[in-house]
Amino acid sequence: MSQAQVRSPETVIRQPAGAVAAYALLLLAAHRAYGPDRLPPAVPLARWRRRQPPRRATTGLLINQLRVELWSPHLRTQSLSHFTRSNPPNHNAHKPPHLPDLDLASAVFYSHN
C-alpha cells in the first residue's frame, strides 16, 4: 500500500479500510472481467517477464490496465507534433542504435510506481 496523504485523525483511522476496499474492488472486477487465470490484454508484459509470466494478474498489471482504459483515449501524441520538426538534425547522435523509440503511451502504461 502506498502512503496516504491524510491529516485529520478520523481520516487516518479510516484510510486503511478505504485502501483495502479499493484493492478488493479492483481484484473483483478483474476476476469478473478476465477470470481467475487470465492476464489483462492491453499492455503486453515486459520482455524480461515473458520468460516466466505471472500465474495470475498482479495488482500492478491491473492498475496498468486501468490506466490504459482511462487514459488512452486522451493520450493523443499527434496533438503535440507541432512542437518538433519532423526530422531534427542528428536526432540519433546521442542515442545507441539498438534502443527503440518510446512514445508517451508506452512510458505511462509501463510505469509501475
The pLDDT tens digits of the residues spanning 52-87 come to 888 888 888 898 888 888 887 777 655 445 555 555
Higher pLDDT, residue 96 or 14: 14
Residue 87 C-beta-side C-alpha neighbours within 13 Å:
0
Among residues of the chain, what percentage have pLDDT more than 70? 64
- For residue 68 the three cell numbers come to 490504459
What's the average model confidence in pLDDT over 84-95?
Answer: 54
Q: Say which amino acid occupies 15.
A: Q
pLDDT band at residue 36 under the 50/70/90 scheme:
confident
pLDDT at 71: 80
